[in-house]
A and B are shown apart, each in its own frame.
Chain A
Amino acid sequence: MKRQVEKAVRRFQMFTHSDKILLPVSGGKDSIALWDILLKLHFKVHALHVQLGISEYSEKSADITKRFSEEKNAKLTIVNINEEYGFNIPLAVEKTKLPACSICGTTKRYVYNKFAQKENMDVIVTGHNMDDLAAQLRHSSSTWDLEGMLATYPVRPGKQGLIKRAKPLVYLTEKETLTYVITQKLPVFLEECPFSQGAWSIVEKQELNRIENKKPGFKYQYLTQFYKKAYPAIYEFEEKKKIKNDIKLKSCKICGAPTVKDYCWFCRTRAKILDIKLETN
């Protein structure tokens, strides 16, 4: 496991031992496994847990991260979105009618980026594993969502207010990360988020595992061959499109985050949730 992480870090030039690494941790098997491995590899890791206000589920998740942090004497910060931004995920879903996973994911990414900037971090490292990335690639390619396909790449450089991001578990499956936390006897939270039931990613993962069962190594090939053969051309195509369409990022009028509109997605969504009227030109 450690070797697979080291291989990914090296191959995709994710980070070095002198970098300050922000690791978002949910308390689930992937983030806990990655936290443990990065500590064992002596990287400078600062973990961040975002409390989303999804009742007991969020409390139990936070407890696991605290337990791990205490047991391993590892750095952890907990950000409660209700205290920080005045809403939680159930309220956001009710007010916006947007899918929970979409609001949750974007909110977390926003919080990670803000925190990483404030703390002067070099890279944000997430616990996406091979199954997460292969499922996303399969899902995005079903509609040729090129941006979605590009997002599966294990490293995304930092740009204009966005911190560099990396996914060192790219070579490890969900089965391997779960086996790791069990054999290492690490505290882990195995319950599924109540909002993730019926998520498309679960359907895609089941389908990929059905193929993997008949054709071992399929997921690895599917993902790594995409990175090698298709990713460079799609990346170039999308970059040219951005230049041609003259898409320029500006700063959000409220928080300064990069956005193509006057306000970033997070501030617009938050305003909708809290019934705040935003000034428009």
Chain B
Amino acid sequence: MEKKERIKPLIVKIIPGNKTHHFFKKMPVFKLLEELGLNSESVVVIRNGTPLTKDLIVAPGEQIEIISVISGGKKP
């Protein structure tokens, strides 16, 4: 029987918290953020150490990190 090659997912890790999500389709960054319910103003999306803009495409097989930019407790 022919062995079917398994598709590697797009692995998305959200920092802080280190929660991981898997996706199996190609999509632009803004769509990925929409699916995760995240505001693009509040996060930075990183692939191989490089920040990505909203319109760039991410795809299965890649590893992405989404870092929350919001920090609290800083009173001027």
Contacts and interface: CB of A to CB of B under 8 A. Distances in A.
A173 B67 CA distance: 15
B6 interface: no
Contacts of A136: 75-76
Contacts of A30: 71, 74
A107 B17 CA distance: 29
Nearest to B69: A174
Interface string B35-46: 000011111101
Interface in A166-217: 167, 173-175, 177-179, 182-183, 185, 190-193, 195-197, 199, 201-202, 205-206, 209-210, 212-213
A196 B73 contact: yes
B73 A213 contact: no
A152 interface: yes
Given A179-B44, A209-B41, A128 B76 contact: yes
Contact of B41 (A29, A126, A197, A212): A212
B56 interface: no
Interface residues of A, number: 42
A132 B75 CA distance: 7
A258 interface: no
Nearest to A100: B73
A262 interface: no
A100 B73 CA distance: 9
A210 B67 CA distance: 17
A212 B74 CA distance: 20
B57 interface: no
Contact of B76 (A133, A173, A183): A133
Contact of A213 (B40, B44, B46, B71): B40
Interface in B36-76: 39-44, 46, 49-51, 67, 69-76
A90 B14 CA distance: 28
B73 A195 contact: yes
A195 B71 CA distance: 11
Q: How would you classify the secondary structure of chain A's contact residues: helix, strand, loop or mixed?
A: helix
Interface residues of B, number: 21
Given A191-B16, A209-B41, A185 B73 contact: no
B44 A201 contact: no
Nearest to A205: B70
Contacts of A28: 71
A101 interface: yes
A127 to B, nearest CB: 8
Given A183-B50, A185-B49, A151 B44 contact: no
A201 B50 contact: no
B44 A178 contact: yes
Interface of B: 15-16, 39-44, 46, 49-51, 67, 69-76
Given A30-B74, A102-B75, A213-B39, 4 more contacts: A174-B70, A183-B50, A196-B71, A202-B72
28 contacts: A30-B71, A100-B73, A101-B75, A102-B75, A105-B73, A105-B74, A128-B76, A132-B76, A173-B41, A173-B69, A175-B69, A178-B44, A178-B69, A182-B44, A185-B49, A191-B16, A193-B72, A193-B73, A202-B71, A205-B42, A206-B39, A206-B42, A206-B70, A209-B42, A210-B39, A210-B41, A213-B39, A213-B41
